[in-house]
Amino acid sequence: MVPIGAVDITFILLSVYVSNQTNQTLYVASAMMSLGAVGTLLMALIPVPKYKLIGQYLGLASVSSYVLMLASIANNVSGYTKKIFYNGMMMIFYTVGNFLGPFVMAPRFAPHYVQGLVIYFCAMEIAALLLLFARWKMAIVNKERLAQPSDVATNVEDDLTDVQDPNFIYRL
């Protein structure tokens, strides 16, 4: 049996590598979230307990999307206050999700917890779609900014947000 931590680290390293090679952080994050969702669904559907481990290992792919989301915030949010706000909100919602997650696996769903796993699957797919939506919105802004370059030079000292800075290009 492969330790879960090794699988987790493998997915993180693989997703970061693919993201760096393709320069597509949000596509990779969305794909890893969807792969994790498939793993979660497999845990719900596979009847043989020893084969459920396949689903559990695939489910760990979603952890790498969290790492890529943090990288996306670091790369795509400009402005000191805004960056602190986004990082704080990410941490708060991550904590709330980890707090509420065990309640989805209620004792009344035992011993297979199919309903809880389906809820996790749906939440993960919604997250994957939201990542794609965020990427789409940022790509539109990039296209507009590249089509009409700004004549105004901006400095880091100006502490402009990514929305205020006409020269800011999102890393997708």
pLDDT at 159 > cutoff 90: no
Q: Which amino acid is at 151?
A: D
Full-model pTM = 0.90
Burial zone of 33 (CB within 10 Å; 0-12 exposed, 13-18 middle, 19+ buried): buried
Choose the weakest-confidence range: 55-59, 79-83, 122-126, 127-131.
79-83
At residue 153, the pLDDT reads: 81
- The reported pLDDT for the residue numbered 139 is 97
Q: Quickly count: other Cβ atoms within 10 Å of residue 19's Cβ.
A: 23
Evaluate if residue 7 carries a pLDDT over 80: yes
Q: Per-residue pLDDT for 109 more than 90?
A: no
pLDDT band for 171, please (50, 70, 90 cuts): very high
Q: Does position 83 have pLDDT exceeding 80, yes or no?
A: yes
- State the pLDDT confidence band at 1, using cuts at 50, 70 and 90: low
Q: What is the pLDDT of residues 31-75, one digit of tens each?
A: 999 999 999 999 999 988 888 999 999 999 999 999 999 999 999
Closest CA to 107 of 119, 99, 115: 115
